[in-house]
Structure 1
């Protein structure tokens, strides 16, 4: 092994995010997702709802009203997302906080979507904002798809009410949790004509100005009638958008929003994106996504922040896996999963890791987030393909590490991690130098207020002793 080096983690040209759980599926733990996909994402999106004054609260509405006759996913009294169990009278011991901690421990940032009662007084909103202070550089998407008519916020409130509420909530979050970026998920331009307006532009102008990010939820193909009908050719419960139209609409939406926001261009993200296998069939699902990715790389647009694959596991055909109908804890891989793994390996969508100066132990490691961190690295001169490659830590550190293109996680209580999966699909030559890279996200998933003035956006870990590597190039015995 060579000497220790400092490394920095920097943004990808285009960020990749991943939805994990919604009205269509359960949350899947980050250990499983990391092992399947081989690398962490920038943001992991989770979806929750908060209607604390409704009589059914805090039950999930589909469970509280399981005997109710419904004909559309959003016919319930409030949205069928997981209930946000914090807030006034709530607790941070349950959801979404358990999952937010899981996400951050695994070197990813949280993208929390929250549909919420627009009539709530400021004290309700302030309590939520305070609960988000320890979760670093997360994103909060408030009452998304707000130009539609399906969510409860659209059914109970006017478009002006929704816009005003967003501005009020966003300002409270900025006061209580400035570490949180606010995402406004509105509509798109009403046509592809030059200078066409945004849907409900007047009502949402101030919201677009206040937001840190603009967002669209848009699919190349979507069966929006799921699960209440079967998608068949000629039906009226699905929609398809040609790729050129899809991209042109995004670009013109960004330009129009920039004009609306006094010529300030906020980054635009697609918070939900996929091609629905209900429309194309699972074998062809990934073809249009691959074409979209190549178009994004070719355009290299500075206004486009990234997209979120919706989602990892799904009860329909919007997942990299389909949920086993016999056991919701089991996922069935779809052809799209392998295609998406290739996108994950594309340098255009990978965070950039830069080597800096040499350093000595003890080494101070800083975790700002999935696009901003300082870690440590060691060069390892290989003698060929290993038969055993393990790493053992004496210290109880929370570590994300990468070698030979594959990422691994080590929990604080874990001593030894087998790194051999990094070598199953590649050949290492004698004399080849590999770099083992290590970063230290928060061990509890939350930042520590005692760490200094920048505690809300940075978390610090000290590595006092180097881990030990066990590398062997021959089997213990050959049979």
Structure 2
């Protein structure tokens, strides 16, 4: 059997996916992978850290429940799920259990964390220690910081919020150099202006961050769930795809100017059009038009976007939550649109074959979802198969790809049925395909006791799976 070494690198534009927030619960990665057909660069989680507040660590809408609340952010602290780590906390529960699962499935973690700016340096150091073993982590601290709705903005001036970002970014990265911090502000919100909103206060955050970001909803109903968006209402808005693209590009150019002309990765950490405003069909149309624009314009200044989100209790999800059963999602038209987009070359990671065949045993290094070593096995198909499956003897943690469809193999799993690779893309005749194998961290964490463990995870494969391909039923 021929076996070659391959490398997975960056997409021209990476795609990340939100999974859980104040508007929806976390959905497990096996379900999302089966639904979407491929992993994402990262999965975005949203949490808050207000350890000095009364009621902490309870969720704000539970411990401060009140009939007087008429806005999603009216609670004493932000109504995200609460970060259970930090000073005096531990990494047994949320979000760390989800972070492990995300990394086991070959994806990085994007962690949005709203933090009380009054916490001590010791609190920030503890957060850094929490994140050390999770490889590359994208950490978005106090996002949408030029707004006025989050608790950190209500209890501090904009200058204090900006100062805190610089302090938090520095201290957390001192303890966890694997973390890349994201500054997320309004950027250019008025195309007639050259400067961004609150530029004097937030200019210092641009060089302090590793990644720049703006959140852009081409349509949004911020009054949800306390009112219904209707024509002429005041709690929703709708823009155009062209304006959204131009504001994002102008924001990047302004960030670059404020960083002395030096570029950093530019992302959109939350992106969608709210179906509460557009309805389900034009929501899908707007998402497609924006992504078509990125591709048509060859927007190499734009490195990634995060679709907000997978499952939503309102109409901001690829699925909306079944009101009768929170564990059930109802697929929206935008899911099929998005699924098509993320299979385009512009949005897929680049996988390249290395020279020479591989002899077993072989060590595969996983650095992150944009820098991973894998194996490629050429397979010949006479026609569309009736059976296609892998049987494993090693307890390895693997991500597998065949015919554009990705699969996960947990350490204890013995057999993986690959026929789903042909349900949506059946072979029309004889074909040569390749089975690709990658080995993300089996526990979801890196081993910090080994050399370079902060950044890398190595897995030794001693055996390849047995491959069973048949082109007819067992019995006619």
Fold conserved between structures, TM > 0.5: yes
Provide the alpha-carbon RMSD of the alignment.
1.1
Structure 1 match to 2:169: 170
Give the whole-Å Cα distance in 1 for the aligned partners of 2:119 and 2:112: 17
Match of 1:303 among 292, 301, 304: 301
Match of 1:77 in 2: 76
- Map 1:398-477 onto structure 2 (within 5 A): 398-428=397-427, 431-452=430-451, 454-477=452-475
Distance in 1 (CA, whole Å) between partners of 2:367 and 2:297 is: 29
Unaligned runs of 5+ in 2: none
Task: Give the CA deviation at 1:211.
Answer: 0.3
> Residues 102-144 of structure 1: CA distance to partner in whole angstroms, max 9, x if unpaired?
1100000000000001001100000000110111111000000
Indicate the residue corresponding to 1:247 in structure 2. Answer: 245
**Distance between the aligned counterparts of 2:308 and 2:178, measured in 1?**
25
Gaps of 5+ in 1: none
**1:133 match: secondary structure:** helix
Structure 1 residue aligned with 2:366: 367
| Superposed structure 1 runs of 4+ greater than 6 Å apart | none
Counterpart residue number, 1:335: 333
Judged with a 3 Å threshold, the aligned counterparts in structure 2 of structure 1 residues 430 and 290 are, in CA distance, closer, same or farther, namely closer
The 1-side partners of 2:246 and 2:422 are apart by 42
Correspondence for 1:124: 123
Q: Secondary structure at the match of 1:328?
A: strand
Tell me the residue number matched to 1:201: 199
Deviation at residue 13 of structure 1 after TM alignment: 0.6
Structure 2 Cα separation of the partners of residues 85 and 261 of structure 1 = 35
Whole-angstrom distance in 1 between the partners of 2:448 and 2:260? 36
Q: Please state whether the residue corresponding to 1:134 is helix, strand or coil.
A: helix
Label 1:386 to 1:90 Cα distance change in 2 as closer, same or farther (>3 A).
same
Report the Cα distance in structure 1 between the residues aligned to 2:82 and 2:240, rounded to whole angstroms. 36
Query: Could you say what secondary structure the match of 1:379 adopts?
Result: strand
2:311 is matched with 313
TM-score under structure 2 length normalisation: 0.98
Residue 39 of structure 1 is matched in structure 2 by 38
Answering whether residue 265 of structure 2 is matched by residue 267 of structure 1, we say yes
Aligned pairs, how many? 475
Distance 1:189 1:40 in 2: 32
Q: Secondary structure at the match of 1:391?
A: strand
| Aligned mates of 2:119, 2:437 — CA distance in 1 | 44
Instruction: Give, in angstroms, the shift of residue 193 of structure 1.
Output: 3.4
Q: Matched residues in 1 for 2:426 and 2:183: separation? A: 46
Moved more, 454-463 or 66-75: 66-75
Q: Structure 1, residues 211-249: CA drift from partner, whole Å, max 9, x if none?
A: 011111111111111111100011111111112211111
**What residue is the counterpart of 1:98 in the other structure?**
97
| Pairwise CA distance, 1:260 | 1.2
Distance 1:345 1:254 in 2: 26
1:429 deviation in Å? 5.2
Tell me the distance in 1 between the aligned counterparts of 2:463 and 2:190.
Answer: 60
CA positional deviation for 1:354: 0.4
Superposition pairs of residues 98-247 of structure 1, within 5 angstroms: 98-193=97-192, 196-247=194-245
Q: Distance in 1 between matches of 2:73 and 2:430?
A: 60
